[in-house]
Structure 1
């Protein structure tokens, strides 16, 4: 039998959930991976069941995780179907064989780009030059391979002996990271592509003068004062602080900022330069121009980009070809037909149109030969990852819409609009139409919450509950409801009937639409929950017999909130005599002995209610005779001689009970 390691939730999240999320969601994985089981035939059934339960519990704990919330929601939703195959030993063995074959096929596709690069290097150098190893890590990363996975491939070949440097800009990496994060958030909030630099935010190029910077910064501050006090205003204010400190002091400050931008652009270009020079040991003119155009879109000027590419090539110990010479007049210019569609595909991907990007990549693939295949495959991989993520988000969005979780739906759909606006939903749904519907529902819920908070206090809980029924998880309604206390029952009483069962009664909570949790205290002082009900009584057939009636406690619950408990041994616990609400009590309760010795109890009443009839026994306890919707009942268990017992009749409707009316002795 194969032994399973103890389950570690943190390791599972970092190792399994991260990989599944990166690959595009649960449909791109297999059940063995999702439940962290090896795809072998000799797994122990009990160990598998325990592992499935551990993983299921881990998913439940991760449902609010900011990164994995959508993924875990899908996993929880599909748990029953996915786990069934693993919990059945015969189906599990068949699935293991299938998964092993699928993984081999998937791995061969993942390693295809890396293996091709390694094969060409070995053919050329009869081994792998040490200075090419870092470039192979970058090639592997394009296919989603870790360094350890690349090392496993490199271990099959001889590494030939051979060494690289950088200059840290004045603006540190943490400051650059803050600015980049704010620019990205500005793009998300406005629905436009994020500005690559602070200069681009101001509408200026890298050659802007100090006067132009100050003028545009002043205009932006005036615009910022007109924004509503929401997140966009806060982001703009923070960005303008960085503009003030990094750009406005003068042209020298602008140059220092551009040097910092160049450091980040260098990190972006370095793996691409490595991939471009990996085989030819040179940066050819066409590749240099392509890299230069990519860097220009990141906010740098042509002079800095050219110097940066030259420095990266020097770092890798390779030469750089100059711009391609102009063709001789009689010869037609060389046209690389794959470049334009590939460039357009990148632009479509940045603009949040991956479906269009996929179509353009298909056009580029038709024309890409030996020189463009690597770049086309890299962009195709990026497009496929975005489309897989969009499919996962669409499933989560539709689940949120069907469950009327409009806040969650707006968040997911807004992300889809930014990254995959041209990808339709499962039933051809348009992200804009569905987002409009979700926002309208959310606005209705916002107005309903405002109306509830402005209305009578007595009706507030009911109104907020109605909002949550139409907009599950609405943050405003949930928060407001948490502030409203749930009223506990005014009293609780308990008495045995003739069978020895205990009937527990309590006053209805004045909070509407509550359920009640009933607990019994044992002889050892510990409490046992007997159950939950939306009525105001419960029969305890499991109460200990032949001893004093146990102590009971009742708690009212509503929308995840609970009242304090009311106990049957409290000073205020009495038999119900008067309640200001609930169904009308019966009138004129009469008890007469019949010729056969039984007692017939009758009363006057009205409405669709259920009547409970109890009899007072000689030892002072109450015995339940029965429940009926008629206006009379016959007590065959009454003593056949002696005085007629006292009877109590009460009415119940809608989860509430009237006062009990007694017959004359």
Structure 2
């Protein structure tokens, strides 16, 4: 019998969610990995059900995680379907055999490209030259292999010594990074492709004269003064500061700036050149022309671009083939796979991966032994871009449906630049959805401006209203974070007839807050009991037979938190309104007809009949005989997402509370 290791939610997030997210989502995985189960035939049914329940609970806790919320949403959507296959013993054993075969095939395919490159190097050099090792890491990365996995393959062969290569010197890497980040942000804000250089920002080429640079810089400063005081204005102002120092002083400054750009281009091309020369030990003319075009697109002039490529080839210790001579009538025809592969590279650089994939398939039909490696490398790159675009599309659609317009706009803008010819899951066009998102953001921007111009007392409520219509709006979130969160005026705790402790507190004057409730343990530590948007909490786990513990409540809103209010510092107001929790004959009427029904996704829908302005507490009887508080509501139903996803439906008990008094409990099995 295969034993399961204890479930650790933090380890699960790093070991399962992170790789699944990187591979493109749940469809690129299998149910055993998603539920942290080994694909073994001898798993215990009870242990499998318990692990599925633990993973389900972990997903629920990650639904608001900034990185994994989209992935978790996709996992929750198909939880019932995937878990049903694992909960059935016969279906699970069939699935385990299928998954083991798929994993073996996938593992073999992952190493295919790397093994082919190693095999050629060993045949040529009777070992692996040390200066080729870094290139093998790059080849492995094309197939998604880590350096540790590549090292495992390299340990099977002898590594031959080689002199270390010198790196091209660069100037001001931090300054170049700042300029690059501002140019990229300028592209995102304007909806156009990011300019590769400051000269390109001004519409100038690398051969621009000092007079042209100064004239365009002056025109841009005049234009910047007309921009509204928003983020685009700040980005343009910062770029103009860099331009005044880096390219305006004269042609010598422009030459120095282009040398800095050349250093960045060299860093960008280095791994690609290394991968291109890895097997043939030379840079063939076709690859040289491809890299030359890419360097020109990145803002270099032809002379400097050629010098960068030559320096990289010299750094790697390989020769560069001369450009192919013009064809003559008697010349043999070119290899049929080269032109579609070149077109595929151009389409990928232009942000059209679907077109690139079609062209790669054409190249694959004509590629023999001489072209298989080059075609495979481009195919893997196209596949990676398409997988990333698919993940972005799913995240963008989810953000749009949740009205998280800022997140949706960023994702759609990236899709428009990197995958313009790839439609959404339902055939959506990125441009159409991007216009919708930007229009919603503009409405939210205007609402934030109105809120900030209004009375200070109403500012928090107005900003909260903006966030309810546009969750995650940066301006509203930042403005709300600057408003102090008011703490509860008092906290009171009293034990009811069953021994549970009812914690009550005054509502914060800050709207739409969430309260974090903690209990002080006998050892003096503070234990967080949970978070709630109501002003009360039942502590069914409080120590029995001792005095009521001390509780602390903190109000939280938009990333800010109030000072804590404790129950052992009860004010006169709190003493005056402290509830009496012992039920009395005049208390609220108990609910009627409590029913519990399991839904398709494994959760349990609990409903009852009742009347009056009362609050209902719902508790669930766990398998070990303890009562777990599911929640509190003024509705006549609640959904228990933490119930075991299989097995008998738990027993539920519902009671009513009003004016500090509580009714008796009515059970679903009564």
TM-score normalised by structure 2 residue count: 0.68
> What residue number does 2:262 align with?
262
Report the CA distance shift for 1:364/1:512 in structure 2 as closer, same or farther (over 3 A): closer
Q: Is the 8 A contact 1:361 1:379 kept in 2?
A: yes
> What residue number does 1:381 align with?
380
Report the CA distance shift for 1:458/1:210 in structure 2 as closer, same or farther (over 3 A): closer
Alignment map for 1:28-427 (pairs within 5 Å): 28-34=28-34, 39-40=39-40, 53=54, 60=61, 63-65=64-66, 70-71=70-71, 74=74, 95-159=95-159, 163-166=163-166, 168-169=168-169, 171-328=171-328, 330-331=329-330, 334-427=333-426
Q: Is the 8 A contact 1:48 1:87 kept in 2?
A: yes
Q: Is the 8 A contact 1:489 1:566 kept in 2?
A: no
Q: Deviations over 1:378-422 (max 9, x none)?
A: 222222222212221222222223333333333333333333333
Cα distance in 1 for partners of 2:531, 2:84 equals: 30
Cα distance in 1 for partners of 2:244, 2:213 equals: 9
Q: Is the 8 A contact 2:183 2:197 kept in 1?
A: yes
Equivalent residues, number: 588
Report the CA distance shift for 1:574/1:427 in structure 2 as closer, same or farther (over 3 A): same
Q: Is the 8 A contact 1:355 1:423 kept in 2?
A: yes
Cα distance in 2 for partners of 1:162, 1:109 equals: 30
> What residue number does 2:434 align with?
435
Cα distance in 1 for partners of 2:198, 2:254 equals: 10
SS of corresponding position for 1:389? helix
Alignment map for 1:6-25 (pairs within 5 Å): 9=10, 18-25=18-25
Cα distance in 2 for partners of 1:89, 1:78 equals: 19
Cα distance in 1 for partners of 2:148, 2:503 equals: 66
Report the CA distance shift for 1:299/1:502 in structure 2 as closer, same or farther (over 3 A): closer
Q: Which moved more, 1:499-508 or 1:454-463?
A: 499-508
Report the CA distance shift for 1:451/1:88 in structure 2 as closer, same or farther (over 3 A): farther
Report the CA distance shift for 1:80/1:179 in structure 2 as closer, same or farther (over 3 A): farther
Q: Is the 8 A contact 2:62 2:69 kept in 1?
A: no
Report the CA distance shift for 1:247/1:101 in structure 2 as closer, same or farther (over 3 A): same
Alignment map for 1:446-457 (pairs within 5 Å): 446-448=445-447
Report the CA distance shift for 1:88/1:204 in structure 2 as closer, same or farther (over 3 A): same
Q: Is the 8 A contact 1:169 1:259 kept in 2?
A: no
Q: Is the 8 A contact 2:506 2:535 kept in 1?
A: no
Cα distance in 2 for partners of 1:173, 1:188 equals: 23
Report the CA distance shift for 1:52/1:204 in structure 2 as closer, same or farther (over 3 A): farther
TM-score normalised by structure 1 residue count: 0.69
RMSD: 5.5
Report the CA distance shift for 1:34/1:260 in structure 2 as closer, same or farther (over 3 A): farther
Report the CA distance shift for 1:460/1:54 in structure 2 as closer, same or farther (over 3 A): same
SS of corresponding position for 2:262? helix
For structure 2, the residue ranges without an aligned partner over 5 or more in a row are 590-611, 616-633, 635-656, 660-670
Cα distance in 2 for partners of 1:653, 1:8 equals: 37
Report the CA distance shift for 1:467/1:271 in structure 2 as closer, same or farther (over 3 A): closer
Q: Which moved more, 1:86-95 or 1:311-320?
A: 86-95
Report the CA distance shift for 1:229/1:13 in structure 2 as closer, same or farther (over 3 A): farther
Cα distance in 2 for partners of 1:174, 1:101 equals: 48
Q: Is the 8 A contact 2:517 2:551 kept in 1?
A: yes
Cα distance in 1 for partners of 2:212, 2:58 equals: 58
Q: Deviations over 1:194-241 (max 9, x none)?
A: 222333223232333333333333333333333333222333333333
Following TM superposition, by how much is the alpha carbon of 1:353 offset from its aligned partner in structure 2, in angstroms?
Answer: 2.9
Largest Rg, 1 or 2:
1
Q: Is the 8 A contact 2:491 2:503 kept in 1?
A: no
For structure 1, the residue ranges without an aligned partner over 5 or more in a row are 577-613, 615-620, 629-650, 659-665
Q: Deviations over 1:353-395 (max 9, x none)?
A: 3223323333443444444433332222222222212221222
Report the CA distance shift for 1:455/1:354 in structure 2 as closer, same or farther (over 3 A): same
Q: Is the 8 A contact 2:31 2:83 kept in 1?
A: yes
Cα distance in 2 for partners of 1:541, 1:394 equals: 44
Q: Is the 8 A contact 1:552 1:568 kept in 2?
A: no
Following TM superposition, by how much is the alpha carbon of 1:171 offset from its aligned partner in structure 2, in angstroms?
Answer: 0.9
Q: Is the 8 A contact 2:9 2:58 kept in 1?
A: no
Cα distance in 2 for partners of 1:507, 1:380 equals: 62
Following TM superposition, by how much is the alpha carbon of 1:331 offset from its aligned partner in structure 2, in angstroms?
Answer: 1.6
Cα distance in 2 for partners of 1:310, 1:515 equals: 61
Q: Deviations over 1:582-641 (max 9, x none)?
A: xxxxxxxxxxxxxxxxxxxxxxxxxxxxxxxx9xxxxxx99544669xxxxxxxxxxxxx
Cα distance in 2 for partners of 1:101, 1:165 equals: 43
Q: Deviations over 1:236-258 (max 9, x none)?
A: 33333333333333333333333
